[in-house]
């Protein structure tokens, strides 16, 4: 599991919340994966049919709160899944970033939004 105390504390809070409600029985891998996807869709919904700039979002307190709440839901379910599978979220993020750096070398991807398979 993670070594970062703050992250460990956060996971412990999430696990305690889940345990106090006897929700572990519902937190199967499939259900957690589905919940991440569902919450990600709700995050997308916060800006559906709009395309606000960073500044426009930051000036809209209600939108910032909506985005924050949905983003938290996504992260909570991600950390639930990490806890269930005994994955260290920081470690897997670093591993994925290393993998991404190999797939998207700066000299080929700088200023370019193409997928790695296109160059």
Question: How do residues 53-82 score in pLDDT, each as one tens digit?
Answer: 999 999 999 999 999 999 999 999 999 999
Domain ranges of the chain: 5-87, 89-119
Q: Tens of pLDDT along 86-112?
A: 999 999 999 999 999 999 999 999 999
Phi, psi of 99 (to 5 degrees): -60, -45
pTM: 0.89
Confirm or reject CATH 1.10.287.1080 for domain 5-87, answering yes or no.
Answer: yes
């Amino acid at each position: 599991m993670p070594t970062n105390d703050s992250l460990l504390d956060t996971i412990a809070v999430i696990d305690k919340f889940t345990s106090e409600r006897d929700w572990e029985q519902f937190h199967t891998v499939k259900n957690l994966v589905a919940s991440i996807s569902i919450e990600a869709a709700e995050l997308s919904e916060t800006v559906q049919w709009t395309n606000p700039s960073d500044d426009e979002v930051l000036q809209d307190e209600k939108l910032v709160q909506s985005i924050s709440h949905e983003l938290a839901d996504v992260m909570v379910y991600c950390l639930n899944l990490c806890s269930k599978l005994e994955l260290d979220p920081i470690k897997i993020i670093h591993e994925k970033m290393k993998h991404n750096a190999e797939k998207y070398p700066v000299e080929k991807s700088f200023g370019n939004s193409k997928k790695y398979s296109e160059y």
